[in-house]
Structure 1
Amino acid sequence: MSKRIRISSGSTFEEQMAYSRAVVDGEWVFVSGTTGFDYTAMTITDDIVAQADQCFRNIDAALQQAGSSLADVVRVTYVLPDASLFPQCWPVMRQYLGEVKPAAMMISAGLADPRMKIEIEVTARRQVA
């Protein structure tokens, strides 16, 4: 049986809502829905493209802590309150996942904080020797 490892970003949301930024279970890494907050300062920009970029930087940091990387992502889910803004994020998505091309889905739904314009969740498979 594999050991479960929990990874935190230091976000206050994780403690308040009882979740981990990522959970490693064997060769799998499950990264929670991640928003465009800069967790070190707990600030967020109003620009969706900048938020998408920050989402990926936050996800990459969690994956690195898990011994994985964006190159190991096999599935991604995007959640946006305003689906019409999604095409603005495509260049950022290509920047981070253009070579990986994971299975993907976009959902239009409300998010926990009205400042959030995008939330991204990924599943990755670690390269375990």
Structure 2
Amino acid sequence: MVRKAFTAPNVSSSGPYSHAIDAGDFYYFSGQTAKNAVQVTEDNREIAAQTEKCFENIQYVMNEVGVTMDDVVKVNVYLTGMKYFAEMNAVYETKFAKPFPARTCVAVYELPLGADVEIEVIVKKP
């Protein structure tokens, strides 16, 4: 299989990976943090602001692919503490319509670039 990769010009990468990969019937999107923005601002310290920025970065990549949040079938959320769960959920639920995509949310010890939340999605091709 030849991988077709997508990269958004206004989203940075913190390692050797593609922002999204075309995998036949699905697109797999790499995790995004608030710190993956090309311009990182100080207002991205609060978990709600970080979560918003994660989705903004995901949307930038989705624009390159030509899909929307309505096409998302699976989401993985990584938090540096479950103390952030309610605040993250408050932002998360504004990004999707019912029925919500399948989701996994786990607490991890650390995330790249000092972020407190990272979000990745899988999209079924329309």
Query: Could you state the TM-score of these two structures normalised by the residue count of structure 1?
Result: 0.84
Deviation at 1:29, TM superposition (A): 0.8
The answer as to whether partners of 1:21 and 1:62 remain within 8 angstroms in 2 is yes
One-letter amino acid of the counterpart of residue 30, structure 1: Y
What residue is the counterpart of 1:7 in the other structure? 6
Deviation at 1:98, TM superposition (A): 3.4
How many pairs were matched up? Answer: 122
- Greater Cα shift, 118-127 or 32-41: 32-41
Deviations 1:66-98 (A, max 9, x none): 121110000001000111111111121111013
- Greater Cα shift, 39-48 or 81-90: 39-48
Q: Distance in 1 between matches of 2:35 and 2:69?
A: 19
What residue is the counterpart of 2:63 in the other structure? 64
The answer as to whether partners of 2:32 and 2:58 remain within 8 angstroms in 1 is yes
The answer as to whether partners of 2:52 and 2:91 remain within 8 angstroms in 1 is yes
SS in 2 for 1:113: helix
The answer as to whether partners of 2:34 and 2:40 remain within 8 angstroms in 1 is no
Q: Distance in 1 between matches of 2:119 and 2:82?
A: 14
The answer as to whether partners of 1:68 and 1:125 remain within 8 angstroms in 2 is no
CA pair 100-54 structure 1, distance change in 2 beyond 3 A:
farther
SS in 2 for 1:68: coil
C-alpha RMSD of the superposition: 1.8
Query: Could you state the TM-score of these two structures normalised by the residue count of structure 2?
Result: 0.86
5 Å-filtered alignment, 1:40-55, equals: 40-43=38-41, 45-55=44-54
**Ranges in structure 2 where 5+ consecutive residues have no aligned partner:** none
4+ residue runs over 4 A deviation: none
% same residue = 27
One-letter amino acid of the counterpart of residue 84, structure 1: K
**Ranges in structure 1 where 5+ consecutive residues have no aligned partner:** none
Deviation at 1:38, TM superposition (A): 5.8
Q: Distance in 2 between matches of 1:12 and 1:78?
A: 18
Deviation at 1:121, TM superposition (A): 0.7
The answer as to whether partners of 1:67 and 1:126 remain within 8 angstroms in 2 is no
